[in-house]
Amino acid sequence: MRTSGILKFGGLIVALLGGSFTLLMLKAFLFDKGQGFVDLTGLLFGVVALGVGLAGVAAGGRRARLERESDARAFAEVALALAKRGGGKVAIDALCKATGIPSDEAQSKMRALTGEGLFDLDFDGNGKMIYKQLEAAPGADQRSGT
């Protein structure tokens, strides 16, 4: 499980426990008589726990976005390196082997890179799908780090 998933799940658990404790202490503070300070302290603790849980869920969402961007950038760098090594052409099989992802996912990511103008879809003599790196690919220098 990735860090973003752990943060979201843990934050959700803490938020649920904090929210239920807040509701319990709110009922005790408003309707029960006798221990107002203790009930108020418990209510404050529940609100703090709820806030910490919600902050964890928000941090998990931000972390998930960063992980997706990092994965996309790493995939693009691998695709560009394979294209450079293969004379400007990349086969899906080679991408799957290099990245360890399934063919369907590699094809969808390569379609996204085609949409960005880094690659063009083509077929070789055997009818196999290959991607050709465009000569003046906009942003190619930024992605490869050169």
Q: Alpha-carbon distance 4 to 79, whole Å?
A: 26
Total-model pTM:
0.66
59 is in which domain, residue-wise?
1-71
pLDDT (0 to 100) of residue 39: 79
Pair 54, 103 in one domain: no
Calculated CA dihedral for residues 10, 12, 16, 19, nearest 10 degrees? 110
Per-residue model confidence as pLDDT tens digits over 55-107: 999 999 999 999 988 888 888 899 999 988 888 888 888 888 888 889 888 88
pLDDT (0 to 100) of residue 34: 67
CA distance to 41, 65, 74, 130, 144, per residue, from 122 (Å): 68, 31, 23, 5, 22
Number of other CB atoms surrounding residue 140 within 10 Å: 20
**CB neighbour class for 118 (10 Å; exposed up to 12, middle 13-18, buried from 19):** buried
Pair 93, 124 in one domain: yes
Question: 3-state secondary structure string, 108-138?
Answer: HHHHHHHHCCCEEEEECCCCCEEEEECCCCC
Number of other CB atoms surrounding residue 8 within 10 Å: 19
Percent of the chain with pLDDT over 70: 92
The domain that contains 95 carries what CATH number? 1.10.10.10
Pair 49, 95 in one domain: no
CA distance to 22, 86, 90, 109, per residue, from 135 (Å): 61, 14, 14, 20
Number of domains in the chain: 2
Is residue 35, in this structure, part of any structural domain at all?
Answer: yes
Given a contact cutoff of 8 angstroms between Cβ atoms, the answer to whether 18 and 42 are in contact is no
Is residue 77, in this structure, part of any structural domain at all?
Answer: no
Pair 94, 46 in one domain: no
